[in-house]
Amino acid sequence: DGQLVLCDFDTIDATNLGRQILYGPDDVGKPKAEVAAGKLAAINPDIDIRAVTHRLDDAGLAEAVAKADVVLDGSDNFSTRFQVNDACVAAETCLITGAAIRLEGQVTEFGPDYTTSTCYRCLYREADESLENCAGNGVLSPVPGAIGALMAVDALKFLAGIKSRRGVLRLFDAVSGEFRAVAVTKRANCPACG
């Protein structure tokens, strides 16, 4: 039997409601992870789910990742993504990362064997921290849902032992409705997996 652990130290804001469909107007101001855990448990009362409502420090993140079979990262900043990536590489844990902005989204799966697999730092570097984010540029509300659904599919495939294409950046264009796949090359000097 598995456990689902939701980590989010943020609270629900009215601006989240259009794209984070577990939440409603009555949830504004409440902890995201707690509300999500409660709503998922109501859908499936047999689920073993735990909410983490504080920011995980380096040791706490490392411990949580080491206990996981797969990590899904939908964070909205590079700093967090790099920290999660580094913890996954160190623990040899599969990482599925997704992001959305404006009318675009992306999904990538890395690991768990980082001697051969690429990692998030092979794709992005510290200098990319200045790239645009959803808060400043907005996002078409259904796009994060589409990306989240793909992340869930990838996670279930990984847990079921179904082979998938790791280290391939899948880019979604909501205007055309098309996906484009781009292979991520392993960086020899990658600070995490190189």
Catalytic residue selected from 7, 122, 134, 193: 134
What are the DSSP calls for 140-189, one per residue?
-THHHHHHHHHHHHHHHHHHHT----TTEEEEEETTTTEEEEEEPPPPTT
Using alpha carbons, select from 110, 107, 134 the residue that is nearest to residue 120: 110
- Tell me whether residue 134 is one of the annotated catalytic residues: yes
Distance between CA atoms of residues 150 and 169, nearest Å: 12
Give catalytic residue positions: 134
